Amino acid sequence: MPHSVHPIDRMLLQNKAWAFERVQSDPSFFKRLSSTQKPEVLWIGCSDSRVPANEITNTGPGEIFVHRNVANLVRPGDVNSSSVLEYAIGMVKVRSVVVVGHRGCGGIRASMASFDGLPATLADWLGSIREVYAKNAAELDALPEGDARENALLGHVVRTQVENLAKMDVVKRHWAERQAPSLHGMVYSTADGRLVELCRVLPSATAPVAAAS
Ligand code: CO
């Protein structure tokens, strides 16, 4: 019997059980959540199924605003992540933005392999990881192939996304207006479930307000 259950049917059934249990333990749960959302954190993570934002931070619905894509990239000119940032920083007014990379990331790994046969959109997306590699090639090439090199690249990729964030107009505008959000780069280890902070950029009140670069 379990083999014949379609994954989507199982998902709908699990959802029914979850909603029922939530109301059992907290009757006003959905009423409270429906009225407003005031998360303090915007999470930019990888689409990887092993890195669920709420679960690994022990948070629930309403606590984290989430954007996920392949290899947790914040690319200048990407309408998707840009609109998430405008909304989360400008309207929801989150206090912090975290970019979360993870060990064993398929996107990082694929960027280091041949792009032959890779769909063009994916090659384009992963191309920006290659640019990060190229900028740090001297250091990365000197490392042994495998985990050491991959983890070092991952660190550089995460830091680069935080640097990209710091250059965005919406970030600079809100730094000047309300001294937020703080920016954080983190790496999650699928081996032990731990999240480690790599870098932190605090709002600089002196940042030029409208210096579009
Ligand atoms: Co990944």
pLDDT, tens digit (0-9, with 9 covering 90-100), for 42-64: 999 999 999 999 999 999 999 99
Residue 46 is a catalytic residue:
yes
CATH 1.10.10.10 fits 37-210, yes or no: no
Q: What is the pLDDT of residue 206?
A: 56
Give the Å distance between the CA of 205 and the centre of ligand 1.
33
**CA gap 123, 114 in Å, rounded:** 10
Residue type at position 116: D
Per-domain boundaries in the chain: 1-35, 37-210
Residue ranges in the chain modelled with pLDDT below 50: 207-213
Angle 116-117-118 from CA coordinates, rounded to 5°: 95
β-bridge pairing 195-201 and 96-102: unpaired
Catalytic residue among 3, 22, 50, 75: 50
> Could you tell me the pTM of the whole model?
0.91
Number of Cα atoms under 13 Å in the Cβ half of residue 101? 31
Extract the tokens encoding 82. 């840009």
